[in-house]
Structure 1
């Protein structure tokens, strides 16, 4: 992606991405405007580039989060179950919940973030509470420590799954946890090699269709020991 921008503040960053067509819908713009990146990215929160959040981990560039919301927006409905694999500092997980709540309130809504770095799990709790403690208090947003490659079966099936790191091959466990009618987006490809943001759609009968969306470069999807 060649486009880069720096916003004066969060609202300015989102407005620029909307103007340039990075954000295609008002609903995505609203969710990202309400979720100020300064709570989740201590360095250069309004620069459209990946930023370090500590422990050898980066938060993705804002335009990639915008694309994730756009790709999944039809599945982000009140009452949906959503899984954010590699939730990091909690930013996109919060955006998912805010997007859904703009559409309507439903006590059955569950947005699950799973992160294998225990320090980032603790940090994400702090970030979410600094942003708005009602997100965690509601029980609709849950942060789990664990190996995201295995998903979180207890809250499956998921209407939408986002993966924030590259799987070497199609992640079968996540596909198994995808609901009929659901969508999974995940970078697929080897570390340092050719990777593609890939979309998997499961139809009403459980048949899966795979679509390559764009070339990307992500860190690998691993456990805490990079295995």
Structure 2
């Protein structure tokens, strides 16, 4: 179904995803309508498929961005703090910023201290993400207000300086469910993370091995509840590029 949602414009793409139930919320639909994928995908921007953006990275298929926003939506309130790991082109970082901003506010900075931090270990991708966001008035306002920032660092370690986070989104497949990211979640807070289960086979000390799970990549939704307890749920089989070290120069 997802592969039949492509369009000739951003609006047609998003409307198709909404009609097919891959986007369920009006909030997510409206946020994606406000961020033109043509500013972020160098080719076939309105195809519902992943697209290469250089440096071994991709921009995920639009339906996966829709899924991520839907799973995280409960925690994407005005003023929320969000960490977008593996931010790549900057597309989802921009959509997340729209979701934590009151659309009736003239100044995006008005929503308390909420912000979205995009983190990638490749400086060139962060440079591209900033250029992409500057293609629209909306994106420029987010950058200039500090509502959106891009940091070059190892996303597997998170970015504690901007937390704790209501939401952590991970846009590349992790070798494990990194405990340091769970620690940077607020209580309550939620993380959406693809995990390479096969990498956990034989790793008796890892979190997933203790759960008795292995094989393939899956999206995990990790909730830190108000009392600090952590609940994990495996929700979707996926195929993401790996969350790895920065390439050697």
Q: Do both proteins adopt the same fold according to a TM-score greater than 0.5, normalized to the shorter chain?
A: yes
Query: Of 186, 203, 221, which aligns to 1:179?
Result: 186
Distance 1:141-1:46 versus aligned 2 partners, 3 A rule: same
> How many residues get paired?
226
1:4 Cα deviation from its structure 2 partner = 3.1
In 1, Cα distance between the equivalents of 2:90 and 2:169? 13
Gapped runs of 5+ residues in structure 2? 200-214
Structure having the higher Rg: 2
In 1, Cα distance between the equivalents of 2:198 and 2:56? 15
For residues 90-132 of structure 1, give each alpha carbon's deviation from its aligned partner in whole angstroms, at most 9, with x where no partner exists. 0000000111214664131111100111111111110011123
Matched with 1:131 is 136
Distance 1:191-1:4 versus aligned 2 partners, 3 A rule: farther
1:120 aligns with 2:142: no
Matched with 2:77 is 77
In 1, Cα distance between the equivalents of 2:183 and 2:112? 25
Distance 1:109-1:2 versus aligned 2 partners, 3 A rule: closer
1:190 Cα deviation from its structure 2 partner = 4.7
Gapped runs of 5+ residues in structure 1? none
RMSD of aligned alpha carbons? 1.6
In 1, Cα distance between the equivalents of 2:163 and 2:99? 20
1:30 Cα deviation from its structure 2 partner = 0.3
1:203 aligns with 2:210: no
TM-score, normalised to structure 1, is 0.95
